[in-house]
Amino acid sequence: MDEAFLPARVAPELQQQIEQFLYAEAALLDAREFDTWLTLLADDLHYFMPTRRTTLRRERDLEYSAADEVALFDEDKPSMVVRVRRLNTGLAWAEEPPSRTRHLVTNVRITDQGNGQYSVNSYFALHRSRLERDVDLFYGERIDRLRRVDTPFGFVIAKRTIHLDQATVLAPNLSMFF
Amino acid sequence: MASFTPADLSALVDADHGLLSPRIFQDQAIYQQELERVFTRCWLFLAHESQLKNPGDFFATYMAEDPVLVVRQKDGSINAFLNQCRHRGMRLCRADSGNARAFTCSYHGWAYDMGGNLVEVPFEKEAYGQVDKARWSPRRVPRVEVYKGLVFGCWDADVPPVAEYLGDMAWYVDLFLDRMPGGTEAVGGVHKWVIRCNWKFAAEQFCSDMYHAPFSHASPVLASLPPDIDPGQAGWPMKGKQFSSEMGHGTGFFMDTPEFLFPLLGETAAGYYMQSGATAVTERLGEVRGVRMNGAHMTVFPTLSFLPGINTLRVWHPRGPDEIEIWAWTLVDKAAPAEVKEAYRKAVLRTFSPGGILEQDDGENWTEIQKVLRGHVARQQPFNAQMGLGMDRSDDPDLPGRIGYVYGELAARGMYRRWAQVMGAQSWAELAPRGLGEVASHG
């Protein structure tokens, strides 16, 4: 059996610290505090959301787009800075007027990788309400690598892989952060 | 049966005066006629050849709302057939892509080989005696053609060959598909997403509308500039041209603006496109296409669009009069260095994809127009497509065909004129790419 599925064995204190970090991050995104949110992203960030394919079981290795294929996000720190600068121009029409978002984070499972690095799986639901009555719903899983740092937030995100549970994205855009 | 006659259609689309009835974007009966007249009669993009490398490789796509399977055969040819079991209409294959030796219907088990021939019927002898297998094979796409790496299909056996269908648009399409020996290849995977708008908003914008870019896409350009540059200097290029085809295709592009793509694509991709790769392209296609044109948008009527240079290819699959599914590919020159291909892979997804910082803002325009058109009053006044009316010419020293200014609606008028012709015609006999001199005589 894949050991990744065993119940996590981490100290309750660490579990609480990391969950609170993820909640703080969600609060920043939902409050549209994107400049502060950027400070939670490590300088060597890799922020990645592959596409999903519907495949037969025997070809399930093809379900997620590979590193050399198209992705929904394949970002580094500078490209995330450009995304936030774009929102700050006041001319990014998909977010101007801004969306109302709610990031729900659950099912947090942590593996301590040593040297202050943690692998953190979490499930998310992202609700976006926009303009008069547009609603988009996204569910999925995030696989983060967090690094402990000496800041008020306590961690930075070095790597985030996002598995969105849609093969065809049922929204006009992905103008929000996951 | 078609309910809108040529007279009805010319009341909806007055291309000579640049007047468009909003009804063409919203009316369910018009949409049904489009499915019958436009989408079964025109060449539609099915796949990039590089997606189907080995025998049995298949790609499930759509021709408008009709699902089709595109399959590489043992002899290297490509077949396409309706993704529907002939027994009771079940979708034959429910995977997006893969490799298969056969397609077996999951309902009652009728099995088809990869050429789309019915080969097995469970309990045939006991239950049927015999089934005429040739007669009960899936509906075959009668015309499939590979044009410079792109696989096209058409339900109408009388359609002219793709090269003839493109006409003088072929010269412009080469800017994307034929820059280098070996042509293009598709980066693996397809972006798929949904926008609640009529397909013609998207097709027309890529055909004709550079005018929206400086305003709709102001933010990514400002955000991509180095922080020390005065945003006031980030003006959009003013030099460029637009081309309109009598077949409804169109393109627009900047000229002699070598710096334009750099902030959007980065040094590696833009440097290749404008500089390191451009010498070979100039030798192959000449100086105009090699180094002078850039930032092009284009649509092959009805629903295939490209941005050469930015290297996205997409199909606007219609889903009713008020919804589209966008399927977008990233193409690269096959001969490009590996680091250029990787730079393009990232540059395209960061600019033109559901999360792309340019693409995001397009959907906002189209969906809000569509919502406004729910109103009865909002549908009564024509839209204005008059930009550059009467200002086009056909004797450009550098460019073939009918040419206008880059910020114009010449190609939009051409697209809607052709749309009305295709909607009103009984067959290809009325639509052949010759003999349209009269209708094409106005901008």
Instruction: Note if B191 is an active site residue.
Output: no
**Residue B416 within any structural domain of the chain:** yes
Q: What does residue B423 show for φ and ψ, rounded to 5 degrees?
A: -65, -30
Cβ atoms B186, B72 nearer than 8 A:
no
- Residue B162 predicted with pLDDT over 60: yes
Same domain, B360 and B242: yes
pLDDT at B286 over 80: yes
Residue A75 has pLDDT above 90, yes or no: yes
Residue B5 lies in a domain: no
* Cα–Cα distance, B295 to B210 (Å, whole number): 9
Same domain, B90 and B232: no
Task: Tell me what pLDDT residue B377 has.
Answer: 98
Q: Is residue B439's pLDDT more than 50?
A: no
Burial A3-18 (b: 16+ CB within 10 A, else e): eeeeeeeeeeeeeebb
Quote the pLDDT of residue B443: 47
Do B175 and B140 lie in a common domain?
no
Q: How many structural domains does chain A have?
A: 1
Q: Which of B48, B191, B217, B297 is catalytic?
A: B217
pLDDT of residue B226: 74
What's the mean pLDDT in B128-150? 97
Q: Sign of torsion, CA B90 B91 B94 B99?
A: positive
Question: Average pLDDT for residues A156-171, to the nearest whole number?
Answer: 98
Q: Given B145, B178, B208, which residue is the final one in a domain?
A: B145
Mean pLDDT confidence for A30-51: 98
> Is residue B21 in a domain?
no
- Flag whether B1 is in a domain: no
Query: What's chain B's average pLDDT?
Result: 95
Q: What is the CATH number of the domain that holds B99?
A: 2.102.10.10
Same domain, B294 and B430: yes
Residue of chain A whose alpha carbon sits nearest to that of B329: A70
Average pLDDT on B266-287 reads 95
Q: What average pLDDT does the segment B174-200 reach?
A: 97
What does the pLDDT read at residue B235? Answer: 76
Tell me the mean pLDDT in the region A49-61.
96
Whether the pLDDT of residue B441 is over 80: the answer is no
Res A7 pLDDT > 70: yes
A3 band by pLDDT with thresholds 50, 70 and 90: confident
Residue B232: its pLDDT value, please? 63
Whether B142 has a pLDDT exceeding 50, the answer reads yes
Residue B158 lies in a domain: no
Q: Would you list which residues of chain B are within 8 Å, Cβ to Cβ, of chain A? A: 94-99, 187-196, 216, 218-220, 222-224, 325, 329-330, 342, 345-346, 348-350, 353-355, 357, 359-361, 363-365, 367-368
**CATH number assigned to the domain comprising residue A23:** 3.10.450.50
Same-domain pairing of B174 and B125: no
Beta-strand relationship, A41-50 and A155-164: parallel
Average pLDDT over residues B12-32: 98
Does position B194 have pLDDT exceeding 50, yes or no?
Answer: yes
- Residue B222 confidence (pLDDT): 87
Please check whether residue A56 touches B, CB under 8 A. yes
Find the Cα–Cα–Cα–Cα dihedral B380, B383, B386, B387, rounded to 10°: 160
Chain A residues touching B349 at Cβ < 8 A? 70-74
- Parallel, antiparallel or unpaired: strands B44-48 and B57-63: unpaired
Could you tell me if residue A132 is inside a domain? yes
Q: Report residue B167: phi and psi, to 5°.
A: 60, -135
Q: Which residues of B touch A176 (CB under 8 A)?
A: none
Q: Which two tokens stand for residue A125?
A: 């639901």
Catalytic residue selected from B8, B87, B108, B168: B108
Residues of A with CB below 8 A from B194's CB?
168-172
pLDDT in tens, B30-83: 999 999 999 999 999 999 999 999 999 999 999 999 999 999 999 999 999 999
- Clarify whether residues B210 and B136 are in a common domain: no
Asked, for residue B86, whether it belongs to a domain, the answer is yes
What pLDDT is stored for residue B435 in this prediction? Answer: 45
How does pLDDT run across A12-27, given as a tens digit for each residue? 999 999 999 999 999 9
CB-based contact B349 A68, cutoff 8 Å: no
B221 — pLDDT class (breaks 50, 70, 90): confident
The domain of A31 spans 8-164
- Closest approach of chain B CAs to the CA of A69, in angstroms? 5
What residues in A contact B219, CB-CB < 8 Å?
Answer: 86-87, 89, 91-93
Confirm whether A176 is domain-assigned. no
* B193 and B332 inside one domain: yes
Q: Which residue of A has its CA nearest to B226?
A: A82
Domain count of the fold of chain B: 2
Residue B14 scores a pLDDT above 90: yes
Most A-contacting residue of B193, B228, B366 (CB-CB within 10 A), to test interface: B193
pLDDT in tens, A95-130: 999 999 999 999 999 999 999 999 999 999 999 999
pLDDT in tens, B222-263: 888 777 776 666 678 999 999 999 999 999 999 999 999 998
Mean pLDDT (whole number) for B332-360: 97
Asked about B14 being catalytic, the answer comes back as no
Check CB contact of A133 with chain B, cutoff 8 Å: no
Domain ranges, residue B362: 167-441
